[in-house]
Chains A and B, each alone.
Chain A
Amino acid sequence: MHNLKIINLTVEVEKKKILKGFNLEIKSGEIHAIMGPNGTGKSTLSKVIMGDPYYKIIEGDILFDDKSILKLTVDERARLGLFLGMQMPLEIDGVTNADFLRTALNIKMGNEFSLVPFIKKLDKTIEHLKMDKKMIHRGINQGFSGGERKKNEILQMYMLEPLMIILDEIDSGLDVDSLKVVGKNVMDYYKQNNPGLLVITHYQRLLDYIKPDFVHIIMNGKIVKSGDINLVKEIEQNGYENIVEEKKIISGTCIVKENLKNE
């Protein structure tokens, strides 16, 4: 059993606070979904967990299995078992997908790495993801469509076998069929390996395939509401703004009650 704890995290980029006292705990076997309008800190959260040095942590901590990972580099965090499937996967000319994955697996497995099982697993996963086999010998994401890039992220996830997975808008750029393939493969991996899973998305459609145990709404750098899958339906019906309004009223009521108690 593994856990990832984000405690009171405040993060700044170019002197602007993006996350403001953010809290979240994810355990193995749990699926969390984070939803929220654009620019509220969703992607920042994913990159901060992974250790992107561009983001400056002002306050708070991130623990993996109860140990702080703030001082670890990106690759060290990955080797602990964290994985980030990116919203906008980069295109890197010349470095083939095969070289990239083989290097990563070689580092992870050390002496236990063997080429034949690697190729077998790669071929099998490519088939499951309905990807073109030739893509593996092309530069990373070179000439890939948006959907192919997202499938490539899931391929990396399968090959690395991480313990804690963050998928940042893995549904953007996917057509209906590709969404189904990606959703199914993420769930297959989840059932086989029981990782903790954090899915960042704008839309309900991804959550038709990846069923979250917890849904959180992030606004203005912190979680403003948490709930179960029913919260997604609420968002679809009422939008984020109404939920925020509701939250403000609830907060106000609490303050009044506390004040009354004090008096």
Chain B
Amino acid sequence: MNKIRIVNDIPEIVSLNDSIEFTVLEKNELFSVNSLKIRVKKSTSLEIEYQSIETTKLDIFINVEENVKFNLFEFREGNNNKIQYKYYLEENSKSNITKFYNVSNIKEMIIVNLNGKKAEFNYNFKTISVSEEKYDMIVYHNYSNTISNIKNNGVNILDGVLTFNVSGFILNNKKDCVLNQNNRIINLTNNKCQITPNLFIDDNNVDANHSALIGKFSDEEIFYLQRLGIDETIATNLLIKGFLLSDIKKSKQSKIIKIIDQYWR
């Protein structure tokens, strides 16, 4: 398993094989931004663990080459993060990205470029939002037959103000693209959360779906669990756990469960 640990903005390679080329680019002193470049040359998996104690500004470039299947799991804890991701996916490549965040004050921009036929980007993001968190995501379908499946899930608690802005672009003559967005915020506060889903589609021959939902768990869900003798608080905790752990591999869950248990015992 390939693994990189990044503390503040200093990366440490825990283990890395020749499937991945990892480069630390020169720091932009003017804006105090560090840049990392990850080039995925062969099908592989990577785990990145971030811990930020100080204010962190980071640009991350991820290139996935032709015919490569790439699984990335990211786990982030800390505060005051400004992150920008740029993904470049080449022909017939497939990227499965799973991310779990337990941070405070973050602004993140994610730009995805699907640059080759049949390039596929599957994104599954989970966060526990306790302060201001803003995620802007733009997916460009620059080629025909490209696929993007975006899922952003957040549980908003305490002083959390969570925002997802997600835009998908399919230009004219980019045929048979698939673009799915599924964004949901469970808001357990009275604070204002926001989801802005945008689909900018110029071609007619496209399969596109989006759903955006902000609110608490439904009464039906709570009733279904209570019906077996589970009280409302435990039922809600069970639903939160399920919401945050869905589509995350068992092997990656233990760390996340510990965090969930800190908030919802």
Contacts and interface: CB of A to CB of B under 8 A. Distances in A.
Q: Do A and B bind each other?
A: yes
Interface of A: 47, 50, 52-54, 73-75, 78-79, 83-84, 86, 89-90, 92-96, 99-101, 103-104, 107-108, 139-140, 156, 160
Contact of B234 (A78, A93, A107, A108): A107
Contact of A99 (B220, B229, B238, B247): B238
A83 B227 CA distance: 7
Interface residues of B, number: 24
Contact of A95 (B226, B231, B242): B242
Given A75-B229, A92-B239, 11 more contacts: A47-B223, A74-B226, A75-B235, A86-B224, A89-B224, A96-B242, A99-B242, A104-B229, A139-B246, A140-B224, A156-B228
B230 A104 contact: yes
11 contacts: A90-B221, A92-B242, A94-B243, A95-B241, A96-B242, A99-B238, A99-B241, A100-B238, A103-B234, A140-B224, A160-B228
Interface in B183-232: 219-221, 223-232
B244 interface: yes
Nearest to A81: B229
**Ranked 5 nearest A-B pairs via Cβ:** A94-B242, A94-B246, A95-B242, A78-B229, A104-B228
Nearest to B222: A74
Given A54-B219, A86-B224, A90-B224, A75 B241 contact: no
B221 A92 contact: yes
Contacts of B243: 93-94
B19 to A, nearest CB: 30
Interface of B: 219-221, 223-232, 234-235, 238-239, 241-247
A53 B227 CA distance: 12
A100 B123 CA distance: 27
A90 B220 contact: yes
A73 B228 contact: no
Contacts of B232: 73, 75
B223 A93 contact: no
A108 B242 CA distance: 21
B192 to A, nearest CB: 25
Given A74-B223, A89-B224, A90-B224, A107 B242 contact: no
A86 B227 CA distance: 10
A94 B229 contact: no
Contacts of A90: 220-221, 224
Contacts of B238: 95, 99-100, 103
Contacts of B223: 47, 50, 52, 74
Nearest to A52: B223
Nearest to B244: A94
Contacts of B239: 92, 94-95
Contact of B226 (A78, A89, A92, A160): A78
